[in-house]
Structure 1
């Protein structure tokens, strides 16, 4: 009989934690428990990827009637019904959470709806007062959005709040230039909200390929998003309490793209958070918005768990420091997913969970592979990317860049200005494709398949030998014969 209650105790019921728990129990035969203080499915299923993507789908319908008319259809656009959408969304999230709970139960994992803290290297204490011992403890608690250190920042929303709005605001200011900020800017713009976006940097989507993010920024502006680069928020206050003498800048509040009203129809039971908000920006402009959304970063959920008292090292943002096998400095404690702040993507957390089980329960030491991970940004148009940006690649070695930008057939026929981008970054020495970047509708679907070839080490000549599928946007990936430039 084991000296521990469990072979493995998982803290966190998101994608990574659930995968590790059920594979350890179902395939490795381990005695496993899992504790989750909120809803099963974690950030991705409950307040991230899944509801966000469904909102993307909803927002894209706005452009269909005008496009359909160019194709001969008599179609008009009605009003978007936010409560109806939210009802369907919540039903779907309930269904998905039920699937996660069933996966855990059917794998023989004991589950606890409680917050867990770690008392010693082998003991977990639940908020119910129960304690359990485990040979191994896996922390998979994810992360959370944060507000900036700014007076009255509590008046602003964070991404989690968007999914709980009772009604859409007429106007919103989004602070930030990362993928969450840009995705919500496109979503809310498509749903009919007047969107203003401030980003302190020179260009949105820092870290992605410069040419790709430039095209996305231009597309966002053409779609009606009021994007201000090199701009940050200096002050904010409830509109009714804004500093004397501030009347909304050079014009009325309406002229600044904002309507002033009570926010009682937005967020329930949030007090001041839902009120119309006055904002002063670093570009000198002042305005009032129905809502302000901070999309300025996320921090790991690692605080107040007892980790530091045990000798587990935490990084500057609170990330749990682990080695290539996801093991902390305390040998019995491991961590995976966003709480480690390595590559904060759901499929990566799942891979890390699988590698953990291989290492600990299947006697097959498996380091986590964080190289050449395909990813997508669900702006409109989407960005699909894998490998190095042109800028990162040319700092590493001599490269050739194959690139084309054009109006796709579907929207060109409808006389829309939309443009797409197809780009390959190629090593001069090895001819391997170091990076692929696609800006286009459905780019996320395309990059998944391109990622396979690039992960296998495909060369530019391998792409050239592949026959094009015509007529498609993606055929350009295999028909670009001459480099646009070398670096």
Structure 2
């Protein structure tokens, strides 16, 4: 028997931690996991899953209007935030139970409490109990970053937004990234007056310029207001419960809620990693090698806590690779090239590979193909909103090195198309594929 209480102790039961725990256990390891909040982590409890359910709910605002053009007699409908909120939270509860059941089925011991690292192979629970493990895996994810300014305590983050007692009539959203634009679309469709405030001059930094410009154009057409180069100065709470937001270079804005969506930072504060010699970068992220190992050989990190790519599927891949490498005798390294991503805005964005600017900087000679069109459904519905598909091709090899899309179901289409980019297929391969007609996806094989 081992001299340790466990072969593996995981801190954090989110997507990466749960995958690592159950795979390690399936390889025969004695595994424990500590979770101070709820099993399931950011994605399941307060991230992509409940957010996507809100996105589905928001889409009905336009779908119900469009249905009239398709012959349906749809009366004027009233949206009830309480019903959607409570149903979403009930689904989160159900999924949390399933995650816990998965760990139990694999005989992973779960400690529903905070754990910190007190030695390279020792953790301490909140009640003072200390446990030893041959290896410790940190999978505590990220946490919303709230800038420090007067009145910031009056703002909420993506952690609290799913629990709002009432739907705000006016909401100000700080930030220009995917979280800000997703919730802007959600609240706008629910009937709130939405203002996005960005301290810079660009939304969705890192996405292709044409695609993000198209989202900005459509969002403004839908009634979302944008304030650029407008840093927060302070928030004051008024006697009637409303908030007055003071911005640099802009007139004050009165709103019922302020959502701060200015990025996420690695959730390592207070874990004791510094004290045991784990090397952290300036953001607090654990520096790890390609095998997810930190500067302390017995301590590893996966997921957003390492600040490599902050995506749930990446955390899951890293957790799997860690468990297979360390406990399964199958050394595995995650390939971070051509990782697809999506923004569930209104309309949504899907992207994989290099943007046009990145490709020109790296490859020099590129060919760019675009299709700018109205989806068939939008045409009949009388909706002027246009989709944009963009393909980036290495001119020297004909290899497709980037796909970028905005339009209905773009992420669903992009997932399959990402396989082709990952496989290194060429523009000629796309051209040789017969179109599936009539569909939006067929535009990918008809680009000229």
Which TM-score band applies after superposition, normalised by the shorter structure?
over 0.9
SS at match of 1:75: coil
1:378 aligned to 2:344? Answer: yes
Aligned residues of 2:339 and 2:352 also touching (Cα < 8 A)? yes
Structure-2 separation of matches of 1:329 and 1:281: 42
Equivalent position of 1:366 in the other structure:
332
How far residue 19 of structure 1 moved from its aligned partner, in angstroms, is 0.5
Structure-1 separation of matches of 2:118 and 2:430: 54
Structure 2: gaps of 5 or more residues: none
Aligned residues of 2:230 and 2:250 also touching (Cα < 8 A)? no
1:351 aligned to 2:350? Answer: no
Structure-2 separation of matches of 1:152 and 1:351: 39
1:464 aligned to 2:425? Answer: no
How far residue 470 of structure 1 moved from its aligned partner, in angstroms, is 0.6
SS at match of 1:458: coil
TM-score (norm 1): 0.90
1:413 aligned to 2:380? Answer: yes
Aligned residues of 2:173 and 2:196 also touching (Cα < 8 A)? yes
Equivalent position of 1:35 in the other structure:
34
Equivalent position of 2:164 in the other structure:
165
1:399 aligned to 2:366? Answer: yes
Equivalent position of 1:226 in the other structure:
225
How far residue 349 of structure 1 moved from its aligned partner, in angstroms, is 0.2
Within the candidate set 254, 257, 274, 1:291 is matched to 257
How far residue 296 of structure 1 moved from its aligned partner, in angstroms, is 0.7
How far residue 230 of structure 1 moved from its aligned partner, in angstroms, is 2.9
TM-score (norm 2): 0.98
1:445 aligned to 2:412? Answer: yes
Give matches, 1:13-412, under 5 Å: 13-26=13-26, 28-240=27-239, 261-262=240-241, 276-397=242-363, 398-412=365-379
Structure-2 separation of matches of 1:365 and 1:380: 41
How far residue 178 of structure 1 moved from its aligned partner, in angstroms, is 0.2
Instruction: Tell which deviates more after alignment, 85-94 or 281-290.
Output: 281-290
SS at match of 2:308: coil
1:425 aligned to 2:392? Answer: yes
Structure 1: gaps of 5 or more residues: 241-260, 263-275, 482-487
Distance 1:97 1:358, change over 3 A: same
Aligned residues of 2:25 and 2:107 also touching (Cα < 8 A)? yes
Structure-2 separation of matches of 1:144 and 1:56: 22
Aligned residues of 2:10 and 2:32 also touching (Cα < 8 A)? yes
SS at match of 1:118: strand
Structure-2 separation of matches of 1:417 and 1:284: 31
Structure-1 separation of matches of 2:350 and 2:62: 22
Structure-1 separation of matches of 2:127 and 2:250: 52
Aligned length: 447
Structure-1 separation of matches of 2:72 and 2:325: 58
How far residue 170 of structure 1 moved from its aligned partner, in angstroms, is 0.7
Kindly provide the CA deviation profile for residues 404-432 of structure 1, in whole angstroms up to 9, marking residues without a partner as x: 11111111111111110111000011111
How far residue 333 of structure 1 moved from its aligned partner, in angstroms, is 0.3
Kindly provide the CA deviation profile for residues 68-106 of structure 1, in whole angstroms up to 9, marking residues without a partner as x: 111222112321111111221121111100000000000
Aligned residues of 1:239 and 1:288 also touching (Cα < 8 A)? no
| Runs (4+) off by over 4 Å | none
Q: C-alpha root-mean-square deviation of aligned residues, in Å?
A: 1.1
SS at match of 1:195: strand
How far residue 202 of structure 1 moved from its aligned partner, in angstroms, is 2.2
Kindly provide the CA deviation profile for residues 312-331 of structure 1, in whole angstroms up to 9, marking residues without a partner as x: 01111111111111100000
